């Protein structure tokens, strides 16, 4: 049987002003009395879940006493609602509706539960009051959605700002790492960079190739520094460094070990290529010229070249190539000598 209340109560100006002054989800006296009379009583214990996010809502709940915690998740702030407030109304407005929050009692609470049938009876008996209630509820829901959109927009802007900061930080770290492993004068990798390269060398090895080490030493470098000054000596080092840089691929390495000593680690398709590579490097450096007025200075290098034993480490590779390098320098420089594994 339809439930009715005094019409004067439903339209009382005092009641409307009182309701307007309360929270958006706070029921007026007329609304509260109407839903209280129509709903089924339900008591919930502290910590008891009334419904879970994602479930289909089929009832509206009015709180007679106690407090209910609404947990939205996804970074949306939770809400705490109490006496004479309501929740789950969309299930009655639009039918089965996936709930957007979980409702958990924070204290012992007493509820009134209004199902679809009860709500339709109220619509038939008190259409004006229910229309006002629904209009206010929809206004609140729209405002809530707008606030949620604004919050998500701010979160998105904050996320973009954070990602930008992370990219800047990553760039700074990359640049710092590059500076740490790069020789300041020549721009080649330094010893620290060489050791980093050696740590990942197994992943860079090209199948079917031979790894070779070339140690390169600029001949009479001290004489150039003493006679023409360190700026000219630095320019000579940079010329040699540029030539070495042109001779390595993406998975290979050239580095400045210190002073006038350089190293190249390259992949040779054939072991016989060691001789040609070393001879070509010596001839190319011999043809390099410093800018005038120092263009008559002769630049030459000594090279020790050796194939790298896969079962040995860097210290062994270096020792073998270094012996070959000093043999080349002992013969007057401007040439190369092979190491023990060259043949």
Residue 255 lies in a domain: yes
Average the pLDDT over 242-266 and give the result.
95
Lowest mean pLDDT of 68-77, 150-159, 206-215, 308-317, name the range.
Answer: 150-159
Residue 157 lies in a domain: no
Q: Mark whether 262 and 136 lie in a shared domain.
A: no
Residue 328 lies in a domain: yes
What would the pLDDT profile of 214-223 be if each residue is shown by its tens digit? Answer: 999 999 999 9
The CATH code of the domain that includes 237 is 3.30.70.270
β-partners of residue 9 are none
Q: Mark whether 123 and 228 lie in a shared domain.
A: no
Q: Mark whether 36 and 102 lie in a shared domain.
A: yes
Residue 246 lies in a domain: yes
Residue 166 lies in a domain: no
The DSSP letter of residue 83 is T
What would the pLDDT profile of 129-158 be if each residue is shown by its tens digit? Answer: 988 888 888 887 777 777 777 777 777 777
Residue 170 lies in a domain: no
Rounded Cα distance, 53 and 55, in Å: 6
Q: Mark whether 136 and 247 lie in a shared domain.
A: no
* DSSP of 55-80: SEE-EEEEEEES-EEEE-BTTBPPEE
How many distinct structural domains can be found in the chain?
Answer: 2
In the β-sheet with 40-44, what is the strand arrangement from edge to edge?
Answer: 40-44, 109-115, 59-65, 86-87
The CATH code of the domain that includes 78 is 2.60.120.10
Q: What is the pTM of this model?
A: 0.53
Q: Smallest Cα–Cα separation from 42: which of 112, 103, 105, 116?
A: 112
Residue 161 lies in a domain: no
Q: Mark whether 111 and 240 lie in a shared domain.
A: no
Q: Mark whether 36 and 87 lie in a shared domain.
A: yes
Domain enclosing residue 76, as ranges: 7-149
Residue 285 lies in a domain: yes
Q: Mark whether 21 and 137 lie in a shared domain.
A: yes
How high is the mean pLDDT of the chain? Answer: 85
Of 149, 165, 181, the last residue of a domain is 149
Q: What is the pLDDT of residue 175?
A: 65
């Amino acid at each position: 049987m339809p439930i009715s209340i005094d019409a004067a109560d439903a339209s009382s100006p005092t009641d409307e002003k009182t309701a307007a002054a309360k929270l958006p989800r706070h029921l007026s006296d007329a609304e509260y009395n109407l839903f209280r009379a129509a709903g089924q009583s339900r008591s919930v214990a502290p910590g008891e879940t009334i419904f879970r996010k994602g479930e289909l809502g089929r009832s509206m709940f009015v709180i007679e006493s106690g407090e209910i915690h609404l947990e939205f998740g996804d970074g949306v702030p939770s809400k705490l609602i109490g006496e004479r407030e309501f929740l789950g109304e969309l299930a009655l407005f639009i039918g089965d509706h996936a709930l957007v929050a979980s409702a958990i009692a924070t204290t012992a609470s007493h509820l009134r539960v209004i199902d679809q049938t009860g709500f339709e009876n109220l619509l038939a008996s008190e259409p004006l009051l229910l229309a006002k209630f629904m209009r206010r509820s929809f206004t609140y829901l729209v405002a809530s959605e707008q606030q949620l959109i604004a919050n998500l927009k701010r979160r998105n802007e904050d996320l973009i700002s954070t990602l930008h900061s992370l990219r800047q930080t990553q760039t700074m770290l990359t640049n710092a790492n590059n500076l740490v492993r790069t020789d300041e004068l020549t721009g080649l990798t330094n010893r620290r960079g060489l050791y980093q390269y050696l740590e990942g060398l197994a992943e860079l090895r090209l199948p079917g190739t031979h790894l070779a080490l070339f140690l390169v030493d600029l001949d009479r470098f001290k004489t150039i520094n003493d006679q023409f000054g360190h700026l000219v000596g630095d320019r000579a080092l940079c010329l040699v460094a540029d030539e070495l840089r042109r001779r390595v691929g993406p998975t290979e390495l050239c580095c400045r070990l210190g002073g006038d000593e350089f190293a190249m680690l390259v992949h040779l398709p054939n072991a016989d290529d060691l001789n040609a590579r070393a001879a070509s490097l010596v001839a190319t450096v011999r043809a390099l010229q410093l800018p005038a007025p120092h263009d008559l200075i002769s630049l030459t290098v000594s090279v020790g070249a050796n194939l790298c034993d896969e079962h040995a480490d860097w210290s062994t590779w270096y020792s073998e190539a270094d012996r070959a390098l000093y043999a080349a320098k002992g013969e007057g420089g401007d040439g190369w000598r092979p190491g023990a594994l060259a043949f």
